[in-house]
Amino acid sequence: MEIDKSMTRDEIVDAMRRDFLGEGVGKPRKYVGGLLPSFCDFLIELDAPGKGYQSLNDLFVAYPQITDGVSTLTVSLPAGGQKTIRPAYERYHRFYITDNHRLDYPRSQPYATGKWGDYRNWLDALVSKSK
């Protein structure tokens, strides 16, 4: 995927819809219905909106990415510890399956959160947005 940091919010949502339906990517990727809002929650929880980041790499300067032993988006926190998108994804997974009885929603959370790198262009655009 080509990185386009200038994607608008609507363009990101449209790209998510296309991937959800499988348009242009082969099989439908239904997990993106939880992955995109998980990205948003993750960035909000890091207090990233409005900080002036221009790309995900800029965010990684403030919150270094952890890559050893993980497949999901994980960063180091300045005060110690780490943060991953997995808890946010778990909330949306629960929202779809438990709260709304969407039994067709994918059940493999590790797979879904491990695919974050396929959507780096969304993250590059989202990290530069305000709330």
Which letter does DSSP use for residue 47 in this model? T
Residue range 90-118: mean pLDDT, rounded: 89
Residue range 99-109: mean pLDDT, rounded: 86
* Confidence (pLDDT) at 5: 56
> Where does the pLDDT of residue 1 fall: very low under 50, low under 70, confident under 90, or very high at 90 and above?
very low
Amino acid at 100: N
* Confidence (pLDDT) at 4: 52
Contact (Cβ atoms closer than 8 angstroms) between residue 108 and residue 29:
no
Distance separating alpha carbons of residues 14 and 73, to the nearest angstrom: 22
Q: What is the pLDDT of residues 15-71, one digit of tens each?
A: 999 999 999 778 899 999 999 999 999 999 999 999 999 999 999 999 999 999 999
Q: Which residues contact 81 (CB under 8 A, 6 or more apart)?
A: none
| pTM of this prediction exceeds 0.75 | yes
Closest by alpha carbon to 66, among 83, 49, 51, 44?
83
* Confidence (pLDDT) at 86: 94
Closest by alpha carbon to 128, among 38, 57, 49?
49
